[in-house]
Amino acid sequence: MIIKTKKHWFQLLFVWNGSVLPKLLPRLLLLFGYAVLITYSKDTLVRYHMELSPVPFTLFGIALALFLGFRNNASYDRFWEGRKLWGALLNDTRSLARQALTLGNTAKAPGTFIQYLIAFTYALKHQLRHTDATADMERLLPPATAALLPGAKYKPIVLMREMGKWVQAAKAAGDIDSIQQAAFDQNFNKLSDIVGGCERIAGTPIPYSYNVLLHRTVYIYCFLLPLGFVDSLGWLMPVVVTFIAYTYVALEAIADELEEPFGTAPNDLALDTMSEMIEHTLLELNDQPLPAKQTVIGDRYYLT
């Protein structure tokens, strides 16, 4: 995710990093060249009655904009729900760390439990991004626990079981009572809900046939536009048509990025940074030293 400092309205017109324009530029140049060719062949098109009336394009463009708006809303809802789930993860891990540090007999060192919480966060990130969690698990966990995870498909759930065993051992040792154990269990249920919510988003994309239909319609509409406006706009038509196409194609590209919020595209959720933030706040709760903070790159933060 790219987080930029606020710019003047004129500077914002020329922003490149964080925009989908670099990805779309080859397609727009292709459309521009096609529109120039249509303009150059205007007399031939008129002779064979291949020009089209602009009226249907105006009406259909409004309908297409509504469908694109619905698609973008659906994609942003998925993005925002993912962000809320990770915000809840921050809150619940803090609550569990505080409980481990302050409830009952604090003579029992809670450092292992806090490392489980940090490892849980990184394991969830790796599961959602389909990346290898081995390095983080070996860095954060005792060797015996880390050895349990390489063959596990759902590593966060295995770590939740280990945290439950830690609480059970504390209860058996008399460090916490039944009420305090129930308080831990309540927050474990919240963590389970967060994992399930993230898995639901990651495992249930917007229906593929809907995406294909909208994608085809956008591109067919954009490549038919020159035939509708070649007569009325003349040589200005390639510029106008390319700008209209940029609006529609960019909206579709942004929706594609937001649909899968746990990826590594510039506008996806910054799971690396959020995982580091959770690690830092839990270490701080336990009075442990913090790793170096992320630095600003130029005039923006680039968060992954």
- How do residues 13-29 score in pLDDT, each as one tens digit? 767 776 788 889 999 99
What is the average pLDDT across 228-243?
87
Contacts of 283 (CB under 8 A, 6+ apart): 114, 118, 289, 290
pLDDT at 107 over 60: no
The number of beta carbons lying within 10 Å of the beta carbon of residue 79 is: 20
- Please name which of 91, 164, 174, 85 lies closest in space to residue 125, comparing C-alpha atoms: 85
What is the average pLDDT across 269-296?
85
pLDDT at 108: 60
Higher pLDDT, 5 or 247: 247
pLDDT at 189: 96
Least confident of 100-109, 120-129, 219-228: 100-109
pLDDT at 295: 44
Query: Distance between CA atoms of 71 and 183, rounded to whole angstroms?
Result: 41
- Percentage helix, strand, coil for the chain under 3-state DSSP, each rounded to 5: 70, 0, 25
Q: How many CA atoms lie within 13 A of 234 on its CB side?
A: 0
Tell me which DSSP letter residue 177 carries.
Answer: -
Residues 94, 281: contact at Cβ < 8 Å? yes
Query: Distance between CA atoms of 275 and 280, rounded to whole angstroms?
Result: 9
pLDDT in tens, 191-220: 999 999 999 999 998 888 888 988 999 999
Q: How far is CA 108 from CA 67, 101, 171, 242, in A?
A: 58, 9, 11, 67
Q: What percent of the chain has pLDDT over 90?
A: 54
Rama region for 49: left / alpha / beta (φ>0; ψ in -120 to 50; rest): left
pLDDT at 51: 65
Query: How confident is residue 297, by pLDDT bands cut at 50, 70 and 90?
Result: very low
Query: How confident is residue 294, by pLDDT bands cut at 50, 70 and 90?
Result: low
Tokens standing for residue 26: 């080859």
Least confident of 102-116, 161-175, 224-238, 240-254: 102-116
pLDDT at 9: 62
Query: Distance between CA atoms of 76 and 154, rounded to whole angstroms?
Result: 26
pLDDT in tens, 85-94: 999 999 999 9
Query: Distance between CA atoms of 161 and 145, rounded to whole angstroms?
Result: 11
Tokens standing for residue 209: 């046939």
Query: How confident is residue 7, by pLDDT bands cut at 50, 70 and 90?
Result: low
Tell me which DSSP letter residue 294 carries.
Answer: P
Q: What is the pTM of this model?
A: 0.86
Q: Kindly tell me the burial class for residue 101, based on how many C-beta atoms sit within 10 Å of its own C-beta (0-12, 13-18, 19 or more).
A: middle
Residues 116, 96: contact at Cβ < 8 Å? no
What is the average pLDDT across 276-301?
75
Query: Distance between CA atoms of 24 and 266, rounded to whole angstroms?
Result: 14
Tokens standing for residue 46: 């008129």
- Please name which of 89, 88, 90, 115 lies closest in space to residue 100, comparing C-alpha atoms: 115
pLDDT at 41: 85
Residues 117, 251: contact at Cβ < 8 Å? no
Query: How confident is residue 296, by pLDDT bands cut at 50, 70 and 90?
Result: very low
What is the average pLDDT across 95-124?
87
What is the average pLDDT across 113-123?
96
pLDDT at 196: 97
Residues 195, 124: contact at Cβ < 8 Å? yes
* Helices 54-102 and 271-285, packing angle to 10 deg: 20
pLDDT at 10 over 80: no
Query: How confident is residue 67, by pLDDT bands cut at 50, 70 and 90?
Result: confident
Q: How many CA atoms lie within 13 A of 298 on its CB side?
A: 7
Contacts of 107 (CB under 8 A, 6+ apart): 175
Average per-residue pLDDT for the chain: 87
Residues 119, 89: contact at Cβ < 8 Å? no
